[in-house]
């Protein structure tokens, strides 16, 4: 078919055509040969173009595949670093993430994860330099600023933490987490009025009920710290707090201390008495009896203590009543109270309360007051080796113990210290840190 077509072409186009190859050179070819040559040249060019396009496409595809393999390989390195971080293998996590971040310094999540591995290894300065370098490249990103603030707090630089966190809050003003951490940083710096303002904003933006309640507790605590630090006008602020939260013991104790320092013993007594009627807390019983003892009128505590014991089976006020009876020379009455506590001891123990150290201490003081030295020595020694220090305090939230009452626990809770003897085990925290050195002032 093709051969017949070519013959046909030559038959009908047999004349020749001159093809000029140069100024003085030409080639005489049949018209049909020239047409076939042009067609062949065109087909060759088309074929060559196709081959070039195919080659370019193949090279591009190969390069893209190679880039994708490298990208996937680095993503596996990053993911392995994250897994090692969460599993606690910080050395391996650091190596993996360093390798990834070196090639991808703008990957915020990877940078922050690498900074956490440095923190976990105690390399706080290295973490700081990494985060600040990332900030210079990525700008003011709230999560990055937040981590810089937390790192500054860990390094003990509350001032720098405040600067970072305030910048983050300006970018995310409705973030409860940022506001909570900013409040904590301001409190660590002693700026309690500013911390109270930050806590107020936190309360206004928090919507989750449990966290909102915690935010309200924080606000109350910051208002208390601001008022307590104000020697001149803090009394009015403390009374306002007490009016809003009558059971907030730090405000009661602070106001009573101010009244006592001003020489107004009756005002201090009234504050303690009213608070004891609401809740016979150990610190109130202790401070009331100490107040009266300091004025030589220990017997003034007795009516208040008897009222605290009436209508209940609480061991704490009954023990303090017995101790005050010993101090005022009412030995028989004290012995009767101790006998009641002995009778009720199985009940107290059934509730998880061990009153033995406190009862032994008071009984030892009674024996000493009566001149029974040997009996007193036995009882006092037994009290000292009991299950806990007599009349020691424990935080209801975390269980830390202290020899004396503090307004704030190291766990951050305010007003949670109570006599151990007043707390059933089922209501006490699981912590075991002890001694007053564990408590932040």
The residue assigned the tokens 């630090």 is 229
pLDDT value, residue 422: 87
Length of the chain: 441
pLDDT value, residue 21: 59
Predicted confidence band of residue 431 (pLDDT cuts 50, 70, 90): very low
pLDDT value, residue 108: 87
Out of 360-364, 387-391, 394-398, give the one with best mean pLDDT.
360-364
CA angle 80, 135, 190 (to 5 degrees): 105
Residues 375-398, mean pLDDT to the nearest whole number:
93
* One-character DSSP codes across 90-156: HHHHHHHHHHHHHH-TT-HHHHHHHHHHHHHTT-HHHHHHHHHHHHHHH---HHHHHHHHHHHHHTT
Distances (CA, A) of 56 to 6, 43, 62, 64, 65: 36, 20, 10, 12, 14
Residues 343-366, mean pLDDT to the nearest whole number:
85
pLDDT value, residue 345: 76
Find the range with the poorest average confidence among 104-118, 195-209, 253-267, 419-433: 419-433
Nearest to 320, CA basis, from 353, 363, 274, 289: 289
Crossing angle of helices 249-261 and 282-294, in 10° steps, is: 10
pLDDT value, residue 277: 94
Out of 61-70, 295-304, 310-319, give the one with best mean pLDDT.
295-304
CA distance 114 to 434: 36
Predicted confidence band of residue 186 (pLDDT cuts 50, 70, 90): very high
Residues 192-205, mean pLDDT to the nearest whole number:
96
Mean pLDDT of the chain: 85
pLDDT value, residue 234: 86
pLDDT value, residue 430: 47
The DSSP element (H or E) to which 30 belongs, if any, is: strand 25-30
The answer, yes or no, to whether residue 233 has pLDDT greater than 90, is no
The answer, yes or no, to whether residue 59 has pLDDT greater than 90, is no
% of residues, the chain, pLDDT over 90 = 58
**CB of 412 within 8 A of CB of 436?**
no
The answer, yes or no, to whether residue 383 has pLDDT greater than 70, is yes
**CB of 348 within 8 A of CB of 322?**
no
Distances (CA, A) of 92 to 72, 85, 112: 19, 8, 16
* One-character DSSP codes across 264-300: -HHHHHHHHHHHHHH---HHHHHHHHHHHHHTT-GGG
The answer, yes or no, to whether residue 308 has pLDDT greater than 80, is yes
pLDDT value, residue 394: 93
**CB of 394 within 8 A of CB of 275?**
no
Residues 343-348, mean pLDDT to the nearest whole number:
76
The residue assigned the tokens 């024996």 is 367
pLDDT value, residue 29: 59
Q: Which residues fall within 8 angstroms of residue 51, CB to CB, at 6 or more apart?
A: none
All structural domains of the chain, each given as residue ranges with its CATH number in brackets, are 231-279 (no CATH), 291-390 (1.25.40), 392-441 (no CATH)
Phi, psi of 228 (to 5 degrees): -65, -30
pLDDT value, residue 112: 86
**CB of 367 within 8 A of CB of 334?**
no
Nearest to 252, CA basis, from 216, 231, 230, 227: 227
Predicted confidence band of residue 74 (pLDDT cuts 50, 70, 90): low
For residues 79 and 211, the model is more confident at 211
% of residues, the chain, pLDDT over 70 = 82
The answer, yes or no, to whether residue 5 has pLDDT greater than 50, is yes
pLDDT value, residue 76: 75
Structure tokens belonging to residue 298: 């220990």
For residues 339 and 233, the model is more confident at 339
CA distance 303 to 61: 94
């Amino acid at each position: 078919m093709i051969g017949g077509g070519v013959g046909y072409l030559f038959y009908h186009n047999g004349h020749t055509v001159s093809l000029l190859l140069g100024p003085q050179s030409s080639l005489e070819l049949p018209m049909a040969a020239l047409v076939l040559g042009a067609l062949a040249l065109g087909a060759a060019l088309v074929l060559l173009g196709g081959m070039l396009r195919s080659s370019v496409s193949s090279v591009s595809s190969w390069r893209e595949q190679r880039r994708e393999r490298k990208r996937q390989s680095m993503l596996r390195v990053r993911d392995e670093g994250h897994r090692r971080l969460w599993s606690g293998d910080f050395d391996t996590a650091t190596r993996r993430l360093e390798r990834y971040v070196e090639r991808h310094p703008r990957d915020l999540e990877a940078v922050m994860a690498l900074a956490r591995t440095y923190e976990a290894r105690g390399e706080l300065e290295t973490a700081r330099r990494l985060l600040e370098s990332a900030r210079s490249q990525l700008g003011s990103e709230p999560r990055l600023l937040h981590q810089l603030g937390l790192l500054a707090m860990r390094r003990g630089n509350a001032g720098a933490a405040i600067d970072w966190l305030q910048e983050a809050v300006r970018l995310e003003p409705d973030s409860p987490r940022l506001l909570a951490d900013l409040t904590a940083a301001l409190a660590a710096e002693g700026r309690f009025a500013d911390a109270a303002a930050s806590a107020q904003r936190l309360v206004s933006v928090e919507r989750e009920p449990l966290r909102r309640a915690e935010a309200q507790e924080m606000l109350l605590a910051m208002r208390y710290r601001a008022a307590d630090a104000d020697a001149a006008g803090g009394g009015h602020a403390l009374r306002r707090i007490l009016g809003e939260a009558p059971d907030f013991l730090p405000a009661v104790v602070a106001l009573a201390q101010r009244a006592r320092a001003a020489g107004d013993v009756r005002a201090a007594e009234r504050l303690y008495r009213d608070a004891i009627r609401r809740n016979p807390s150990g610190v109130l019983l202790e401070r009331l009896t100490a107040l009266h003892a300091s004025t030589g009128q220990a017997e003034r505590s007795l009516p208040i203590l008897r009222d605290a014991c009436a209508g209940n089976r609480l061991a704490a006020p009954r023990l303090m009543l017995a101790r005050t009876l010993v101090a005022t020379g009412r030995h028989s009455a004290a012995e009767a109270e101790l006998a009641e506590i002995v009778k009720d001891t199985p009940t107290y123990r059934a509730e998880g309360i061990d009153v033995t150290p406190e009862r032994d201490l008071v009984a030892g003081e009674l024996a000493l007051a009566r001149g029974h030295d040997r009996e007193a020595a036995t009882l006092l020694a037994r009290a000292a080796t009991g299950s806990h220090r007599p009349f020691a305090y424990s935080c209801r939230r975390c269980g830390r113990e202290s020899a004396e009452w503090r307004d704030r626990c190291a766990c951050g809770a305010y007003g949670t210290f109570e006599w151990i003897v007043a707390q059933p085990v089922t209501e006490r925290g699981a912590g075991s840190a002890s001694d007053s050195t564990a408590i932040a002032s």
